[in-house]
């Protein structure tokens, strides 16, 4: 028997993070992706144990200002990619500047300095991941996905998809269908 699962990574991370925090009886709440609000300071020993516990799940505590800003940029981009059409159709530079209260130039410079990748390339990589997820879990046409992800055309989406993955979206779907069929027999 096989199951194909659709999941919300943001929700999973919030729940996992809250469970880990609850284990240490820390009075706090996870308010948005990548942000925890503590009601009071925690002991250094508890903090160190929390860091070790979170590392097991690939979760790191960000503790310098540039890294914190980069995490906020990443969160805003991912939020935008999974949001309704109104947010996705906004110009990314305007969206990030408005959301984070910094000039896009500053955001772009800090992001590139810390991650060694441009904001634009980060967005492209995550858009393609989102497209792959939609191709695997939703019954949408490439035209619908192209519109949903704010691409100017299906051809542009296909070109960008192929540049990143090495195959076209249609070939990707065929490969996944063949793989699923082969696993079922």
CATH 3.40.50.2300 fits 119-185, yes or no: no
DSSP 101-143: TS-HHHHHHHHHHHHSS-HHHHHHHHHHHHHHHHHHHS---HH
Tokens of 81: 């990619």
Q: Are 100 and 138 in contact (CB under 8 A)?
A: no
Cα–Cα dist 70/34, whole Å: 11
Q: What residues does each domain of the chain span?
A: 9-55, 64-116, 119-185
> pTM of this prediction?
0.69
Q: For residue 182, give every residue at least 6 positions away whose Cβ sits within 8 Å of its Cβ, in sequence order, or none.
A: none
Q: Is 61 helix (H, G, I), strand (E, B) or coil?
A: coil
For residue 32, the SS3 value is strand
* Numbers of helices and strands, H then E, in the chain: 10, 2
Q: What is the pLDDT along the chain (185 residues), one digit of tens a residue?
A: 677 777 777 778 888 888 888 888 888 877 776 778 888 888 888 888 888 888 888 888 877 888 889 989 998 998 888 875 544 567 889 989 999 999 999 999 999 999 999 999 999 999 999 999 889 888 888 999 998 888 889 999 999 999 999 999 999 988 888 887 777 77
């Amino acid at each position: 028997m096989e199951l194909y699962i659709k999941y919300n990574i943001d929700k999973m991370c919030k729940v996992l993070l809250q469970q880990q925090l609850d284990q240490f009886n820390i009075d706090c709440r996870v308010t948005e992706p990548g942000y925890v609000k503590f009601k009071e300071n925690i002991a250094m020993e508890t903090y160190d144990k929390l860091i070790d516990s979170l590392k097991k799940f690939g979760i790191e505590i960000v503790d310098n200002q540039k890294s914190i800003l980069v995490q906020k940029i990443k969160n805003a981009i991912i939020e935008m990619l999974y949001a309704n059409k109104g947010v996705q159709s906004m110009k990314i530079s305007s969206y990030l500047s408005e959301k984070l209260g910094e000039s896009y130039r500053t955001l772009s410079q800090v992001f590139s300095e810390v991650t060694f990748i441009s904001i634009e390339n980060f967005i492209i990589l995550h858009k393609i991941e989102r497209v792959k997820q939609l191709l695997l879990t939703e019954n949408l046409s490439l035209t619908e996905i192209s519109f949903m992800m704010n691409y100017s055309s299906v051809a542009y989406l296909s070109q960008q998809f192929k540049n990143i993955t090495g195959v076209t979206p249609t070939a990707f779907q065929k490969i996944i269908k063949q793989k699923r069929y082969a696993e079922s027999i």
